[in-house]
Chain A
Amino acid sequence: MYLGDFKEPVGEWLRGEGSEADLVISSRVRLARNLTDVPFTSVANDRQRAEVADRIQDSLDTLRPGLSLKTQHLEELNAVEKLVLVERHLISRELEMASGPRVVAHDETESFSLMGNEEDHLRLQVVKSGYRLEEAWQQMDQLEKAIDSELQFAFDKKFGYLTACPTNVGTGLRASVMLHLPAMTITGKIEEVNRAATKLHLAIRGLFGEGTEAQGDFFQISNQRTLGQTEEKILQDIAEVLPKILSYERTLRGKLFEQRKEWIEDRIGRAFGTLSHARIIQSKEALDHLSLVRLGVSMGILQDLTMDQVNRMFLFSQPGHLQAIDGQELSALERDLKRAELLRKILAE
């Protein structure tokens, strides 16, 4: 099982490059596509799903070496391996939990990935760290064209690309940015942003996308509508709203630093202290503290810590990665112990 070198996060999205990287963790574009002559995944039987997986693989093979991806068949992976893929944002929880022939393929940097037999036959994804939505789209544009030349996508001249869920029909495009908004959460302004976003037909979701709750003050903002707009317009709409959200978060951070300096420093200090010395720590508590520590680094309050350390703590303290690093499945308590140990180790660097 390919997990990469654990000394650094291989995942593109945690690289911390790109503009506004302290607030915008990553930018992502996702396209949904289906083949024309096979039923959609939820209705297809195992033989048909295997056929879809084979055809996807054939098209990828034809596109080598220009497009060089590593393919894995999810039915062959164990629970930990699948969890790691979810934590690296290479597969969705839905693909993890499903059964039958499913595939994931990704490049070395984990910037481009595709899922076969999730809700749609094909889900393509490009992720870039920081605010680089346009760049992500440019890359996706090329990749989708290449795959399009090898497969026949289900398409209707009125309804556009045909997808299993009506909310994806048309462009099949979900463009999103992952934001870290601790000041908005602390000051209770998130609800306000939520309402404003809904008015603009943008959705706000938690860390792992659809159907998840916000963890560690991370929020994903994405378009809701996919039909009746060009792909470029969808990206433009997010590009218009984003600076306002970022500016609001920075203003609130500024205010916290001015008006409640000792209070916020205290909270950051306590979070740092807990992570540095705890012996047993659960996932949620770790994420909450990491969010404050991340804020601390971003605001220059924690000067001896780097964003790279924060990113590694964030990724490796998650359940799948913990077990993969340890090389075995762990019980809940064992995970909580290992997590505390890992965090102490990284903080001591």
Chain B
Amino acid sequence: MLCEKCQQNEATVHLTDVANQVKQEYHLCSECARVHGVSVPAQFQKFKSFTLPDFFTHQSQESDTEQAESPPENCPRCKMSYSKFRRDGKFGCSHDFTVFRSTLEDLFKKIHNSSQHIGRTPSCFRKENSHRIQLDGLREELKRAVQGEQYEKAAEIRDQMRLMGRN
């Protein structure tokens, strides 16, 4: 699913906010989450005072936040723009695929009649994938712990995720 904020990247940060018996869910990409200070440790610390609705209605005056709100045009790593890519017919780096993701879906459907790879996978991806599945599982557990007000357990899970994030 796409990030609710920028509508560009995959949502990888899923936050459930329970306040005054009202539950709300937010789904963000890591970039928007980082920019707006939404992270698991940050959430836990600001738990009692943080109100999410502010985050969405807040109009930032700063230009860098403004840029994060509009879809990124150029790849931050290799500076490739989509128009240059179309002109030269070549990507600049592997990060381009993330930056231009939604547009590439249509392009690949045109070229290959498909945008989903079903062939072999590299060993590094298979290893990393199992890691990600574990992290997703822990994230779910953390959500439930916070909802159920089991803060000690939530803290343990958070620490576990931090450790895994470092590996």
The answer to whether B129 and A159 touch across the interface, beta carbons within 8 angstroms, is no
The answer to whether A39 and B108 touch across the interface, beta carbons within 8 angstroms, is no
Which residues of the partner chain B approach A314 to less than 8 Å between Cβ atoms? Answer: none
Q: 1/0 per residue B86-105: CB within 8 Å of A?
A: 00111111100110010010
Which residues of the partner chain A approach B93 to less than 8 Å between Cβ atoms? Answer: 38-40, 43
Q: What are the 3 A-B residue pairs with the smallest beta carbon separation, nearest first?
A: A228-B114, A160-B117, A154-B94
Option from B91, B113, B121 in Cβ contact (under 8 Å) with A155: B121
The answer to whether A228 and B112 touch across the interface, beta carbons within 8 angstroms, is yes
Given the known A-B contacts A39-B78, A154-B94, A157-B125, are A171 and B113 also in contact in the complex, defined by CB atoms under 8 Å?
Answer: no
Whole-angstrom distance between the Cβ of A90 and the nearest chain B Cβ:
23
The answer to whether B89 and A227 touch across the interface, beta carbons within 8 angstroms, is no
What is the total number of residues of chain A having a CB less than 8 Å from a CB of chain B?
38
Which range holds the interface residue count of chain B?
20 to 34
Interface check A229, CB cutoff 8 A: yes
Q: Within A189-234, which residues are at the interface with B (CB < 8 Å)?
A: 225-231
The answer to whether A171 and B123 touch across the interface, beta carbons within 8 angstroms, is no
The answer to whether A157 and B123 touch across the interface, beta carbons within 8 angstroms, is no
Option from B77, B94, B97, B112 in Cβ contact (under 8 Å) with A226: B112
Docked CA distance A68–B121 (Å): 25
Interface check A162, CB cutoff 8 A: yes
The answer to whether A42 and B88 touch across the interface, beta carbons within 8 angstroms, is yes
Docked CA distance A230–B116 (Å): 11
In the complex, besides A225-B112, A231-B120, 16 extra interface pairs with C-beta distance below 8 angstroms are A39-B93, A42-B92, A43-B78, A148-B123, A155-B121, A155-B125, A157-B129, A162-B97, A166-B108, A167-B111, A170-B114, A171-B117, A225-B113, A228-B118, A230-B118, A230-B120
Docked CA distance A145–B77 (Å): 29
The answer to whether A165 and B119 touch across the interface, beta carbons within 8 angstroms, is no
Which residues of the partner chain A approach B89 to less than 8 Å between Cβ atoms? Answer: 165-166
Whole-angstrom distance between the Cβ of B107 and the nearest chain A Cβ:
6
The answer to whether B117 and A153 touch across the interface, beta carbons within 8 angstroms, is no
Option from A119, A167, A229 in Cβ contact (under 8 Å) with B119: A229
Docked CA distance A231–B118 (Å): 9
Given the known A-B contacts A42-B88, A159-B97, A162-B94, are A228 and B115 also in contact in the complex, defined by CB atoms under 8 Å?
Answer: yes
Closest B residue by C-beta to A141: B120
Task: Identify the interface centre among B92, B108, B129: most chain A CB within 10 Å of its CB.
Answer: B108
A residues whose Cβ falls under 8 Å from a Cβ of B: 34, 36, 38-40, 42-43, 119, 145, 148-149, 152-167, 169-171, 173, 225-231
Main secondary structure of the interface of A (DSSP, over half): loop
The answer to whether A156 and B97 touch across the interface, beta carbons within 8 angstroms, is yes
Which residues of the partner chain B approach A225 to less than 8 Å between Cβ atoms? Answer: 111-114
Given the known A-B contacts A153-B124, A228-B114, are A39 and B77 also in contact in the complex, defined by CB atoms under 8 Å?
Answer: yes
The answer to whether A166 and B94 touch across the interface, beta carbons within 8 angstroms, is no
Interface check B165, CB cutoff 8 A: no
Which residues of the partner chain B approach A145 to less than 8 Å between Cβ atoms? Answer: 123
Closest A residue by C-beta to B78: A39
The answer to whether A43 and B119 touch across the interface, beta carbons within 8 angstroms, is no
Docked CA distance A166–B104 (Å): 9
Whole-angstrom distance between the Cβ of B86 and the nearest chain A Cβ:
10
Interface check B146, CB cutoff 8 A: no
Closest B residue by C-beta to A226: B112
The answer to whether A158 and B122 touch across the interface, beta carbons within 8 angstroms, is no
Option from A39, A40, A159 in Cβ contact (under 8 Å) with B115: A159
Whole-angstrom distance between the Cβ of B102 and the nearest chain A Cβ:
11
The answer to whether A36 and B94 touch across the interface, beta carbons within 8 angstroms, is yes
Docked CA distance A230–B121 (Å): 11
Some 15 contacts from A to B, beta carbons below 8 A apart, are A40-B92, A42-B92, A145-B123, A148-B122, A158-B117, A159-B108, A162-B94, A162-B97, A165-B89, A165-B90, A169-B117, A227-B112, A228-B113, A230-B120, A231-B119
Which residues of the partner chain B approach A227 to less than 8 Å between Cβ atoms? Answer: 108, 111-112, 114-117
Interface check B80, CB cutoff 8 A: yes
The answer to whether A39 and B121 touch across the interface, beta carbons within 8 angstroms, is no
Whole-angstrom distance between the Cβ of A238 and the nearest chain B Cβ:
16
Docked CA distance A155–B128 (Å): 11
Which residues of the partner chain A approach B113 to less than 8 Å between Cβ atoms? Answer: 225, 228
Which residues of the partner chain B approach A34 to less than 8 Å between Cβ atoms? Answer: 94
Which residues of the partner chain A approach B115 to less than 8 Å between Cβ atoms? Answer: 158-159, 227-228
Closest B residue by C-beta to A119: B90
Task: Identify the interface centre among B78, B111, B121: most chain A CB within 10 Å of its CB.
Answer: B111
